[in-house]
Chains A and B, each alone.
Chain A
Amino acid sequence: MSKKYILGVFNDEATLVDAFEKIKAKGILPTEVYTPYPIHEILEGMGKKTRITHAAFFYGLFAAVGILSFLTYAAVIDWPLHYGGKPFNAFPSFIVVTIVATILSITLLTLFTFSARAKIFPGKKADIFHERATDDKFVIVLDPEKLGDNAKAVEEIIREHGEVE
């Protein structure tokens, strides 16, 4: 990591949220916030909405249609076989396979999508901004280039309750 960031480190939720709101009031959006657990104000304040649910829905739709058509093709069109007097198009029995395989497809495809978007892959070295961000500290990461003239003011806001590194 060659780039330099300003870190604000806090001990509890209330002071973090307080500083976060004040920084936002100055018109600055932090690059990233690390917390031990999700906090509503931060989630909304960062303004990042996930679109992965939509992706998952369309994967599911695609998988369900695909698997149903494959089963129909295999059992009805390409190789019709008699099973205990059932019609070739044994639709109700296809549904079970479709449900199970659809769940598997959604899980795997969403996992791959998420990994690609978050730039995670097996064996990747983790970017750790602050050693205790994975422990019990609340960390705000700010890009000094975006701060401009406000750098001093932001440092003061953070210093009220936390520490700057």
Chain B
Amino acid sequence: MEERVVLSKKFKLLTYVLIGIGVLSFALGFVFDAKRTWANYLLNNYYFVSLAVGAAFFGAIQYITQSGWSAMFKRVPEALASYFPYAAGFFVLMYFGMHSIYEWTHDEVVQHDHLLQFKSPYLNIPFFFIRVVVFFALWIVMSRLLRKLSLQEDEHGGMEYFKKSERYSKIFIFIIAFSFSLFGVDILMSLEPHWYSTLFAGKSFIAGLLHASSIMALIVILLSKQGYYKQLNGSHLHDFTRYIFMASIVWGYFNFAEFMLIWYGNIPEETVWFVKRWEGTYKILFFVNIILNWAVPFLVLMPRKSSRSKMIILPVVLLLIIGQYTELYYIIWPATVHEAKFGLLEIGTFLGYAGLFAWVVGTALTKASLVPKNHPYLQESIHHHF
């Protein structure tokens, strides 16, 4: 069953070109409009780390539920999780842009603001970075541990590695749920430190799972088009789309619940966030966000036939990729750039990150046999059928 991915020269070249575009966009961006470039930097950092976290969470769930169907594909979430060290580097480098992004880092603002003074024991630069470093350390250590066990299982076989992985996964989901919730609050919600929403963490968490599962489906479909994963059948695809379907419903529910309660409560401290986002372009984005992340997957993936068809899953996944960008843009731009600017800078930086992410994930996929060898559920996965 040894089957290794070989990255084609075209693919490598493409990722290098994309990374080049990204570097160029950032370089030009910092020269001409530093504030907006930092916002882009933040958005892309968060975008891709949410995919890695969602994938790590997905992988851990598969161990805990002892899922048979996904055993064949477990290298994909592992590969996505290998992005953590790069993301950690990017987030630490954000130190240099803190003042352009976060209002609470300005001492003179905090001095005249009672609420920010009250929050300053938590929201201050040293503690912020301590948290970022601790979260990334936890994610890297845990995902490396699971990866190591998975590779050892390939070599030696036996149930021992699976049982260990299951035990670590049980710890891992708690770590992810707790740390990524705080992470979302730190990185995104503290952009507007006067506003708070208790649902925000849950929403950003489920958005990570939603978009990670769509990216995983995309990678699996692309690999199968290249001739890998020959045993891929409609039932596997159906299970991937179930994750997308489920997460998009939960996301839609959270998004609506957050909005509806704030709208109905009508407390100025809370509504201010939405009032800002109810003008001009942002108002369009509010609806585009709901359509792309909830309505499209919900309606399109509902029939059994369409959730098993590559031709239907691919466009849905591409729309979801835009959907996550829309949501983050909708959260970040009104708080940092204050204008709905969208141009070559945004496209270029996103392409750069996408190239880097594709390169990291692709390289990680080549490092081990694409189909795990001694996974106890491997046969069940290959013959998966319902």
Partner of A96, one of B260, B266, B302, B386: B260
Contact at A85–B266, with CB atoms within 8 Å?
A: yes
Q: Smallest distance from the beta carbon of B275 to chain A beta carbons, Å?
A: 15
Q: Would you list 18 pairs from A and B whose C-beta atoms are within 8 A, ordered by A residue?
A: A40-B385, A40-B386, A53-B304, A57-B302, A84-B266, A85-B266, A86-B264, A92-B256, A92-B259, A92-B260, A92-B263, A92-B264, A93-B260, A93-B263, A93-B264, A95-B256, A95-B260, A96-B260
Chain A residues with CB under 8 Å of B385's CB are 40
Which chain A residue lies CB-closest to B259? A92
Q: Smallest distance from the beta carbon of B294 to chain A beta carbons, Å?
A: 12
A1 to B198, CA, bound (A): 63
1/0 contact trace for B347-386 toward A, CB 8 Å?
A: 0000000000000000000000000000000000000011
1/0 contact trace for A57-101 toward B, CB 8 Å?
A: 100000000000000000000000000111000001101100000
Taking residues whose C-beta sits less than 8 angstroms from the other chain, chain A's interface range is 10 to 19
Chain A residues with CB under 8 Å of B302's CB are 57
Since A40-B386, A86-B264, A92-B260 are in contact, a sample of 10 more A-B pairs with Cβ atoms closer than 8 Å, ordered by chain A residue number, is A53-B304, A57-B302, A84-B266, A85-B266, A92-B256, A92-B259, A92-B263, A93-B263, A95-B260, A96-B260
Taking residues whose C-beta sits less than 8 angstroms from the other chain, chain B's interface range is 10 to 19
A40 to B386, CA, bound (A): 7
Q: Taking chain A's interface residues, is the majority helix, strand, or loop, or is none over half, making it mixed?
A: helix
Chain B residues with CB under 8 Å of A40's CB are 385-386
Contacts from A to B (Cβ < 8 Å): 40, 53, 57, 84-86, 92-93, 95-96
A93 to B302, CA, bound (A): 26
A129 to B304, CA, bound (A): 33
Contacts from B to A (Cβ < 8 Å): 256, 259-260, 263-264, 266, 302, 304, 385-386
Chain B residues with CB under 8 Å of A84's CB are 266
Chain B residues with CB under 8 Å of A96's CB are 260
Q: Smallest distance from the beta carbon of B313 to chain A beta carbons, Å?
A: 19
Q: Smallest distance from the beta carbon of B27 to chain A beta carbons, Å?
A: 44
Which are the 4 A-B pairs with shortest beta-carbon distances? A92-B260, A92-B263, A93-B264, A40-B385
Chain A residues with CB under 8 Å of B260's CB are 92-93, 95-96
Chain B residues with CB under 8 Å of A93's CB are 260, 263-264
Chain A residues with CB under 8 Å of B256's CB are 92, 95
Which chain B residue lies CB-closest to A44? B385
A95 to B323, CA, bound (A): 23
Chain B residues with CB under 8 Å of A92's CB are 256, 259-260, 263-264
Q: Smallest distance from the beta carbon of B72 to chain A beta carbons, Å?
A: 19
Q: Smallest distance from the beta carbon of A53 to chain B beta carbons, Å?
A: 8
Q: Smallest distance from the beta carbon of B306 to chain A beta carbons, Å?
A: 13
A152 to B304, CA, bound (A): 41
Q: Smallest distance from the beta carbon of A68 to chain B beta carbons, Å?
A: 14
Q: Smallest distance from the beta carbon of A58 to chain B beta carbons, Å?
A: 12
A85 to B386, CA, bound (A): 53
A93 to B261, CA, bound (A): 9
Q: Smallest distance from the beta carbon of A88 to chain B beta carbons, Å?
A: 15
Chain A residues with CB under 8 Å of B263's CB are 92-93
A130 to B287, CA, bound (A): 58
Chain A residues with CB under 8 Å of B266's CB are 84-85
By CB atoms of chain B within 10 A, which of A40, A53, A57, A92 has the most? A92
Q: Smallest distance from the beta carbon of B270 to chain A beta carbons, Å?
A: 14
A92 to B256, CA, bound (A): 8
Chain B residues with CB under 8 Å of A95's CB are 256, 260
